[in-house]
Amino acid sequence: MRWLALALALGALGCGSPREARCATCGMLVAPDDGWRAGAEGLAFDAPKCLFRYVHRHGVPSEPWVIEYYAQARRDARAMLYVLGTDLESPMGSDLVPVEGREAAERMLADHRGQRILSFDEVSAAIVDPLFR
């Protein structure tokens, strides 16, 4: 009976639950419902800038995706536009905000005091690295 009580208590504490994903770039825990998360086949990232740092160090992973800011839905990272320099912050601080389409990017730029709109291919290491300072 004692063993059963112990097993139930440990189960209630979360022991034996599936391991949480960690960011492939910085090692931070990636919340499964966080609106800033990103990923690729077999990889998790806690923020778009961590995905881009990975891209610059290792190349574009298979099937990269981000969470689009307005829809809060998973989208192909290569198809998104990214707004730099907004007043929004990811769990990692200053970040690139992924949005779908030029109209949404222009709205993000105006509403959140952004500086630039970039395509996936325009997000260089020179843009990403300062976001980690």
Model confidence pLDDT, tens digit, residues 18-62: 568 999 999 999 999 999 999 999 999 999 999 999 999 999 999
Taking Cα atoms as reference points, which of 5, 114, 83, 96 lies closest to residue 45?
A: 96
CA count, 13 A, side-chain hemisphere, 96: 30
**pTM as predicted:** 0.85
Terminal C-alpha separation, the chain: 54
Q: Is the pLDDT of residue 65 over 50?
A: yes
Q: What is the pLDDT of residue 96?
A: 98
Taking Cα atoms as reference points, which of 83, 80, 108 lies closest to residue 95?
A: 83
Tokens, residue 102: 């030029």
Average pLDDT of the residues in 115-120: 98
Average pLDDT of the residues in 124-133: 96
Q: What is the pLDDT of residue 20?
A: 80
CB 98 within 8 A of CB 74: no
Quickly list DSSP for 65-129: EEEETTTTEEEEGGG-EEEES-S-EETTEE-PEEESSHHHHHHHHHHTT--EEEEGGG--HHHHG
Q: How far is CA 98 from CA 17, 26, 68, 70, in A?
A: 31, 19, 5, 9
